[in-house]
């Protein structure tokens, strides 16, 4: 019988939840872990898990990447031949408040994944990197060969992850895809992300801070497209040798001010904002090229535009 088992970390998180939800519908048996930390609402993480747990093919254990013994045990138990590592400490601003968490979760945690894989002879890895590795990129749309010039510890930990994955490919034949996600958004999203902050500010009627006076641009990418791409990569990785990195983005540039106008039009309301200066570590513009990933998977992806994406984000209901 075909082994449809897959081991995924960070399943109570935003992208992890959407990926599991999608793969369970495709009849994968998902073995998931998460440490359910309190970086943002634990209730939101538990809500995502309660939706996933309705599927009998979803197995969950609350384990940290940093608990090596139990991590290795659950990976072995899963009998999965592929690991998807999405667990990490995200966020730029928080990296100035709790830098040690980025080293512990993103570097030591990632090392524990690689170490378990090496010991258990698991050879295929897909893991989350980030557009933050580019820092303030000079060329747009930014291509994968552009320099790594992170301007915060978060981006730096992802650069280190990519180097570690390349080393473990040379040293232990672990083949990997590093996915440089650009601002991913969608239903049950992260409350620290801008679109969710705006939507929450509408409910709470609070004003929202517009850093850099809202002049930033972001390559907003809907999570359904991100998941679709990971699914295509899953189909390819068994026959792949090497370690490569891909931008995962819609390759569309939207300014924060335009985003606000779109949401105002969509909701028929005026959003209250406070314009303020640039935040330390924030990138001014992100806008990536997705040519490499589209060529690699050999499939057209119908990237949702913001109107379509916002509709899903606001109205999607989970049974
Ligand atoms: N959402 C984006 O726009 C975006 C952009 C670039 C990169 N990424 C990366 O994609 C991945 C998923 O991001 P997300 O938006 O879903 O974030 P998220 O915070 O919603 O999900 C991460 C999950 O990992 C868990 N986790 C963190 N550290 C852990 C540890 N040491 N052990 C076990 N679980 C741990 C958290 O509790 C959380 O549920 C992350 O690696 C993130 O850095 C996301």
Q: Please write the tens of the pLDDT for every residue from 73-124.
A: 999 999 999 999 999 999 999 999 999 999 999 999 999 999 999 999 999 9
Q: Is 200 within a domain?
A: no
| 26 Cα to the center of ligand 1, angstroms | 23
Give the dihedral sign, CA 266/270/272/273.
positive
Is residue 267 assigned to a domain? no
CATH code of 135's domain: 3.40.50.720
Nearest ligand 1 atom to the CA of 64 is 32
% of the chain surpassing 90 pLDDT: 95
Say what the pLDDT of residue 266 is. Answer: 86
Structural domain boundaries, residue 179: 5-189+219-251+287-304
213: in domain: no
- In sign, the C-alpha dihedral spanning 216, 213, 184, 180 is positive
The catalytic site residues sit at 154
Residue 276 lies in a domain: no
The average pLDDT across 151-178 equals 98
Check pocket membership of 60 for ligand 1, CB cut-off 6 A. Answer: no
Distance, CA 214 to ligand 1 centroid (Å)?
A: 25
Distance between CA atoms of residues 90 and 53, nearest Å: 24
Checking if the pLDDT of 302 tops 80, the result is: yes
pLDDT of the residue at 1:
58
- Average of per-residue pLDDT across 213-227: 96
Domain assignment of residue 112, yes or no: yes
Model pLDDT, residue 165: 99
Q: How many Å apart are CA 73 and CA 69, to the nearest integer?
A: 6
Distances (CA, A) of 32 to 77, 84, 100, 175, 233: 12, 10, 25, 21, 19
Please indicate, yes or no, if residue 208 is contained in any of the structural domains.
Answer: no
Provide, rounded to the nearest whole percent, the portion of the chain with pLDDT above 70. Answer: 100
What is the total count of domains within the chain? 1
Ligand 1 pocket, 226 CB below 6 A?
Answer: no
Residue 257 lies in a domain: no
DSSP conformation letters of 226-278: HHHHHHHHHHHHTT--SEEEEEES----EEHHHHHHHHHHHHTS---EEE--P
Q: Does any ligand 1 atom lie closer than 6 A to the CB of residue 102?
A: no
- Are 118 and 40 in contact by the 8 Å Cβ rule? The answer is no
CB of 113 closer than 6 angstroms to any ligand 1 atom: no
Tell me if 126 is assigned to some domain. yes
| Rama region for 173: left / alpha / beta (φ>0; ψ in -120 to 50; rest) | left
Q: Where are the beta strands (DSSP E) in 163-229?
A: 175-181, 184-185, 208-210, 217-218, 221-222
CA of 176 to the centre of ligand 1 (A): 18
């Amino acid at each position: 019988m075909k082994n449809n088992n897959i081991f995924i970390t960070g399943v109570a998180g935003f992208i992890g939840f959407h990926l599991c939800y999608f793969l369970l519908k495709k009849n994968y048996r998902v073995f998931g872990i998460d440490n359910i930390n309190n970086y943002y609402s634990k209730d939101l993480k538990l809500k995502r898990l309660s939706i996933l747990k309705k599927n009998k093919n979803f197995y969950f254990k609350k384990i940290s990447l940093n608990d090596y013994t139990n991590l290795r045990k659950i990976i072995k138990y899963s009998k999965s031949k592929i690991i998807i590592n999405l667990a990490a400490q995200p966020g730029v601003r928080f990296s100035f408040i709790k830098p040690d968490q980025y080293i512990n979760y993103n570097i030591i945690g990632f090392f524990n994944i690689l170490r378990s894989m090496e010991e258990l002879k698991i050879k295929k890895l897909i893991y989350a990197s980030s557009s933050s590795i580019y820092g303030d990129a000079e060329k747009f749309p930014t291509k994968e060969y552009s320099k790594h010039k992170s301007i915060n510890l978060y981006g730096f930990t992802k650069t280190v992850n990519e180097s570690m994955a390349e080393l473990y490919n040379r040293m232990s034949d672990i083949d990997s895809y590093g996915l440089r996600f650009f601002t991913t958004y969608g239903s049950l999203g992260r409350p620290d992300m801008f679109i969710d902050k705006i939507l929450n500010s509408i409910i709470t009627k609070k004003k929202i801070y517009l850093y850099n006076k809202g002049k930033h641009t972001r390559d907003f990418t809907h999570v359904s497209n991100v998941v679709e791409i990971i699914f295509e990569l899953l189909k390819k990785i068994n026959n792949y040798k090497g370690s490569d990195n891909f931008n995962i983005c819609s390759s569309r540039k939207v300014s924060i001010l335009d985003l606000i106008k779109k949401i105002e039009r969509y909701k028929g309301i005026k959003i209250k904002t406070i314009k303020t200066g640039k935040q330390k570590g924030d990138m001014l513009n992100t806008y990536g090229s997705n040519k490499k990933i589209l060529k690699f998977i050999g499939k057209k992806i119908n990237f949702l535009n913001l109107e379509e994406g916002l509709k899903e984000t606001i109205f999607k209901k989970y049974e």
